[in-house]
Structure 1
Amino acid sequence: MLDLVAIEQIKQLKARYFRGIDTCNLELLRTLFAPDVKISFDSPTYQFELDGVEQAIEFYRSNFTNRRFGLRFAAQGKQFVSRVPFAAE
């Protein structure tokens, strides 16, 4: 049987994660990650992994910028991001 409460909790967690990314809110992101979080980025042009919450927060800290914007698409548990530089870059 489906656990509708668990499904809703997962949806809310995903929404908070996207809100943290969209608003560059590092403190919110820190509350969402487990201390031993592992994050993988995989595309045709690059592949790398982050190990642990401190490495994840530092990655986001150094990559959030007001000079770029991202287009995010999430499907089947995966997130796809395309970064587009502004004309000034």
Structure 2
Amino acid sequence: MTLDEFTALHEISQTKYRYLRGVDTQDWELLRSCFTDDASVWYNQGKFTAEGADEIIARLRAWFLPVVYSSHIALQPEIQLTGPDTAKGTWRLQDIVHFKGPVPDPVRNLTGGEEITGAGYYYDDYRRVDGQWKIARTGYVRLFEQIARRAGRDDVEVKGVDERGVRKAP
């Protein structure tokens, strides 16, 4: 492996980590910067799809705000450089998502108070644009998804923090 190839793998990993931080902190500008303009997503076996970076952000923003608090972890990257400016990646996904109110999800009937814990694999295509590695296509397939509903969980309280993990400058 050359130094340039090693550097590319590191930069791609950094892009994925910024993407996850953008999702969880709901930093839409950061998240948008991770995508190519013509990016596409297909989450949860294609139950949620969007084409174009601006549409992706608009749809995620509408779905997440103001009631979703999430934590996504991507592990065990397998990244293959497929050309000088293209790559593919597979990442293990683990996530926890709290719903403090209803969300527009006709498949799961989320009325608020639910918690989803899941695992799966992300499948990504990357493209280098103006020297920056970006996500051109991403999606995930679940290994499992556990939905804990409010019934029987009345003693559990999830408190969302307004800062959503974003450090304010001292």
Q: Single out whichever of 49-58 and 1-10 deviates more from structure 2.
A: 1-10
CA distance in 2, matches of 1:37, 1:80: 23
Q: Does 2:48 match 1:34?
A: no
- Tell me the residue number matched to 1:8: 10
TM-score computed with the length of structure 2 as normaliser: 0.43
TM-score computed with the length of structure 1 as normaliser: 0.74
Change (3 A) 1:78 1:41: farther
Runs of at least 5 residues in structure 1 that lack an aligned partner in the other structure: none
Q: Single out whichever of 46-55 and 11-20 deviates more from structure 2.
A: 46-55
CA distance in 2, matches of 1:85, 1:11: 28
CA distance in 2, matches of 1:73, 1:19: 9
Shift of 1:85: 2.6
Task: For 1:70, give the aligned amino acid.
Answer: S
Q: 1:28-70: CA deviations, max 9, x gaps?
A: 1111111100101124xx6232111121011121022343322
- Tell me the residue number matched to 2:107: none
**Where in structure 1 do 4 or more consecutive aligned residues deviate above 6 Å?**
none
Runs of at least 5 residues in structure 2 that lack an aligned partner in the other structure: 76-89, 102-111, 113-170
Change (3 A) 1:6 1:38: same
Contact 2:42-2:49 at 8 Å conserved across structures? yes
Shift of 1:81: 4.3
Contact 2:20-2:73 at 8 Å conserved across structures? no
- Highest CA radius of gyration, 1 or 2? 2
Task: For 1:77, give the aligned amino acid.
Answer: W
> How many aligned positions are there?
86
Task: For 1:74, give the aligned amino acid.
Answer: A
Relative contact order higher in (CA < 8 Å, ≥ 6 apart): 2
More strand by proportion, 1 or 2?
2
State the Cα RMSD in Å.
2.4
CA distance in 1, matches of 2:33, 2:50: 17
- Tell me the residue number matched to 2:98: 84
